[in-house]
Chain A
């Protein structure tokens, strides 16, 4: 079954450029990242050891895991450096005015 609806999860006012934050949607923790290239949504748990990426750091279009320092490209979730090898799931984002909405597909 596919559930394609966009759900509003945050506002731009609370997520200025250069910041990331975690939100809970449909029993999942999702990481929102606002970079110069836009707003992106990814799984919040690192594919290496499940550390919370919201406690890591956003540098440009990379998010860095606080536990072992793996880097992921926030634009598509791909793993950029060891020890992570698997990428993060990423989700579609729609920004309307101040509202950030994401589509979590099951």
Chain B
């Protein structure tokens, strides 16, 4: 079908690439955003059974969730000694606790006596020590067995044998990470390019402005994959500019897309249905109108300017004032674009100023057909400002709409669109007679990378 038959994965949409757009930025672009790192990873189908099989989900609990790094909360969720955060992942539950002024520790949330969960539920809590609600065994914030009612009956129990079981715990970017594998390698190795790239975009200097947690009617992988490409932009969001996004694979664990906002190329839609946005193409004024949801000062593009320049400049003013931060040297790309880093298996970090999200997708309990989507807006914090107490999550059920979450504003309908296909897809996995799903070589390459790394986890442990 392709006239010149480029090597698989080498073809691109017509029109300006992200690199070409970034070359016209009105400010200096941070070096990591100029990196490009794509490689063709194959084009085999991905089995539908990976999304619907309870057996596959069981393997993921045993060999993936038991062994990968994952963030639990922000450091500012647990500022004071005794503050804790309970995190659930499938059948497992972990307590993260501020055990001393500069120490954070994590423990398996199960009593060494008769296995009762010591803290119920999920989220923030506080106590000076942990006491099991069943028979009252108690443990210090370091996890040491402290008090044991009727100790005379337990000569076979000691601090050495019956303290809380520790879980590996490290921090990065203001996030507290855990790994349930006591032999796991350090978090720094797992983060690959993230520390170097995010040294330009310090996430520890951000605050949670909003946390929305929604149950989604699809497997956790299908749910996150709806956010790993901009290919769906035309059909799902009725948007003109998904086709020129740039996709990068930095290693086994980290990938990225950069999706320019405020410009587009009519050529990129060459083989899309209809004439929409091609004949005639959008004017700069019409593009600016599409950005009015940002609440811009301008509703017209002055002669000689582009919509992208005008929008970036208006946002510098508006957000600079609102947040008390000087954005005068901040690039157009950081002000405007959707720049999305993914960390295996389920975490997304956006360094952008306007598009400043963090996502986490995980199984909903042990159900293979549904997932939990944590959505956070991580707003930049003014210099010297203290971290305020993070807000409690707003919880939405499968049936509820994102428009019901106060504070989400214009993003509400967008996330309804993003998640609106998931029930149909999850049902489709079961209806399919074709055994697998097919991926685009470039635009959907990050999805393939996740499945490849997932296979490494599932196979490695199988050989142990």
CB < 8 Å neighbour of B127 from A60, A65, A82: A65
Is A71 within 8 A of B128, CB to CB?
Answer: no
Does B263 count as interface, using CB distance less than 8 angstroms? Answer: no
Chain B positions within 8 Å of A60 at CB level: 389, 392
Does A11 count as interface, using CB distance less than 8 angstroms? Answer: no
Does B345 count as interface, using CB distance less than 8 angstroms? Answer: no
Mark interface residues in B268-304 (1 if CB within 8 Å of A CB, else 0). 0000000000000000000000000000000000000
Inter-chain CA distance A48–B127, complex, in Å, is 14
CB < 8 Å neighbour of B125 from A48, A55, A71: A71
Q: Interface majority SS on A: helix, strand, loop or mixed?
A: loop
Chain A positions within 8 Å of B83 at CB level: 57
Is A69 within 8 A of B392, CB to CB?
Answer: no
Given A69-B119, A81-B121, residue A57 in contact with residue B126 (CB < 8 A): yes
* B interface residues, tally (CB under 8 Å): 18
Shortest Cβ distance from A84 into B: residue: B133
Is B120 within 8 A of A68, CB to CB?
Answer: no
Chain A positions within 8 Å of B124 at CB level: 59
Listed residue (B82, B124, B125) with the most chain A CB atoms within 10 angstroms of its CB = B125
CB < 8 Å neighbour of A59 from B119, B120, B126, B127: B126
Given A55-B128, A59-B124, residue A69 in contact with residue B80 (CB < 8 A): no
Chain B positions within 8 Å of A83 at CB level: 133
Chain B positions within 8 Å of A56 at CB level: 126-127
* A interface residues, tally (CB under 8 Å): 16
Does B131 count as interface, using CB distance less than 8 angstroms? Answer: yes
Is A64 within 8 A of B131, CB to CB?
Answer: no
Given A81-B120, A81-B121, residue A66 in contact with residue B128 (CB < 8 A): yes
Shortest Cβ distance from A67 into B: residue: B131
Inter-chain CA distance A64–B121, complex, in Å, is 14
Mark interface residues in A43-57 (1 if CB within 8 Å of B CB, else 0). 000001000000111
Inter-chain CA distance A101–B83, complex, in Å, is 31
Inter-chain CA distance A69–B85, complex, in Å, is 11
Chain B positions within 8 Å of A55 at CB level: 128
Chain A positions within 8 Å of B128 at CB level: 55, 66-67
Mark interface residues in B204-232 (1 if CB within 8 Å of A CB, else 0). 00000000000000000000000000000
Min CB gap B349→A, angstroms: 26
Mark interface residues in A65-92 (1 if CB within 8 Å of B CB, else 0). 1111101000000000111000000000
Within 8 A of A (CB), among B328-384: none
Shortest Cβ distance from A64 into B: residue: B126
Is A69 within 8 A of B389, CB to CB?
Answer: no
Chain A positions within 8 Å of B129 at CB level: 67
The 9 A-B pairs at the shortest CB distance, nearest first, are namely A83-B133, A57-B126, A69-B127, A64-B126, A69-B125, A66-B128, A68-B131, A82-B120, A66-B127
Q: List 19 A-B contacts (CB under 8 A).
A: A57-B80, A59-B124, A60-B392, A64-B125, A64-B126, A64-B127, A66-B82, A67-B128, A67-B129, A68-B127, A68-B131, A69-B84, A69-B119, A69-B125, A69-B127, A69-B130, A81-B120, A81-B121, A83-B133
B residues sitting closer than 8 Å to A (CB atoms) are: 80, 82-84, 119-121, 124-131, 133, 389, 392
Beyond A55-B128, A57-B82, A82-B133: 13 further Cβ-contacts under 8 Å?
Answer: A56-B126, A57-B80, A57-B83, A64-B126, A64-B127, A65-B127, A66-B127, A67-B127, A67-B129, A69-B125, A81-B120, A82-B120, A83-B133
